A = this chain, B = another copy of it.
């Protein structure tokens, strides 16, 4: 009865939400912030947007190349998602664009054809949007923190290792997994190029120094100091653009002298992307693959991309939302729409980027409009500066990626898991090891599977609280059945009942906190109750709810006299004695 009322109420709520103006406005957050927009906001959003844009350009190029795509795709992927997110996004700080992990997951498909990238963007977008609309975000609850951490660490290791090739300009492949990348590195270590290495290492050192440097103190007066400090702050925030600029100028000047000591990015096709629907068929090795074949190429591992996109964006939104709860549904709708729509403009899969979101936050963004300024700057760069990007040294981009990866590797969780829960540490290790050896997607699948087994094992061995007590001179034991007893403990519970009943004559099964139990548990309980009674035990079934009582009676009508209810069990035990029980 109460279930059907609850269901009706829920339906009415859902229906109400659907017709409610307020909930429709929540789905278009721009309708909430735009009416209150003012000049001060504009100025601060512009500063933040441009700062983020300066990082988006080198990172976009780097991540496109990491995925094996033409560099301009990384730029396109910062423009259109930025515009969509400004309309649908609910978190002012979140910056949407290509990320290293998504690029790494994409690489193996792009190796067959770049068309897979655009289709992956479209399909991921559709799936994320669908999950958002159907409010299925709770499915993410089944990916635990250790799995996310193990996966992220594995991804960072794999991506860093894949950059060794560009950093040292060695020959060979960059490798599909961490292990393969390392093997390739050591196999080709003799082909290391001096000047790429020098530039790459210098880039890394410069980025690390800039990140950690404090504002220089000087002997000048306060005002000049504040100005200097502010300039320094912008230098620090634009450090990615800065190292690229230095590398680019260096390569350009040297090229004027006729020297090209570094591997360069090469030609970038400037201008706007080709607009049109994503490719639903492609050609690989002179064979035409239709949509079905392309889906087969993605396989079940293909689900890793939308999954990771959601996990990244929601984790980032939460990290920067502060005390405001994150509307996960709206975030999924926004990220889904970003991907789906921008796949019509040659975009690779995008999601919230941790480094750029942090930069956005630090630059004092006020509304999602900051995203528009970022998009504009990247758009300008791809139309006006594409030729200059030719000279960006690859080692510089590799350095940028490696520094970004260093910041997401987190080993502190190891100690915490060791302290709290060693099986969780095992799950973390499993995710990491499978991730670095077999591939990132398999790592996340192995981790999630191991977690599910852990949860099942817990459900199979619930703790039953027992208490020995005396009523008169009668030794009794009460056993509390708590929570939900699942089918997996159908053997364990009766075994426990048997074990705890030793040395007493009266056993009380207390179901006050029993929420539900699966059929097998009840069936085996009846068996053990009847069996213990044969052995002259007296058993009282205390505070069972009516539904469970009826079911138990249905299994064996003889036990109906054992059910008792009330705040105290003592009187019932005394009654047993007066019934002439042998003690």
Contacts and interface: CB of A to CB of B under 8 A. Distances in A.
A320 interface: no
- Tell which of A323, A517, A519 has the most Cβ of chain B within 10 Å: A519
Contacts of A519: 144-146, 413, 416-417, 420-421, 424
A482 B513 CA distance: 11
B455 A323 contact: no
Contacts of A471: none
A486 B423 CA distance: 12
A462 interface: yes
Interface string A462-479: 110100000000000000
A307 to B, nearest CB: 16
A509 interface: no
Given A482-B482, A531-B323, A487 B417 contact: no
A570 interface: no
Interface stretch (A169-177, A187-195, A329-337, A489-497): A489-497
A291 to B, nearest CB: 26
Nearest to A515: B463
Interface in A117-142: 138, 140-142
Given A455-B456, A483-B482, A519-B420, A488 B141 contact: yes
A145 B142 CA distance: 26
Contacts of A488: 141-142, 144, 451, 455
A455 B419 contact: no
Contacts of A534: 323
Contacts of A490: 141, 144-145
Given A141-B492, A144-B518, A145-B520, A456 B458 contact: no
Q: Which secondary structure dominates chain A's binding surface?
A: helix
A458 B456 CA distance: 10
A232 to B, nearest CB: 32
Contacts of A116: none
* 7 A-B pairs closest in CB distance: A144-B487, A145-B520, A323-B531, A455-B459, A455-B486, A420-B551, A458-B484
A223 interface: no
Interface residues of A, number: 56
A516 B491 CA distance: 22
A547 interface: yes
Given A144-B488, A145-B520, A323-B531, 5 more contacts: A141-B460, A142-B456, A420-B522, A421-B518, A455-B459
Nearest to A422: B3
A12 interface: no
B145 A487 contact: yes
Contacts of A465: 513
15 contacts: A138-B491, A142-B456, A145-B490, A145-B519, A145-B520, A413-B519, A416-B519, A419-B554, A420-B548, A421-B516, A424-B487, A451-B487, A459-B459, A463-B515, A482-B513
Contact of A460 (B138, B325, B424, B550): B138
- Tell which of A141, A492, A513, A534 has the most Cβ of chain B within 10 Å: A141
Nearest to A494: B325
Contacts of A547: 419-420
A421 B486 CA distance: 11
Interface string A418-431: 01110010000000
Contacts of A463: 483-484, 515
A535 interface: yes
Contact of A456 (B417, B452, B492): B452
Nearest to A451: B487
A211 interface: no
A454 interface: yes
Contacts of A146: 487, 519-520
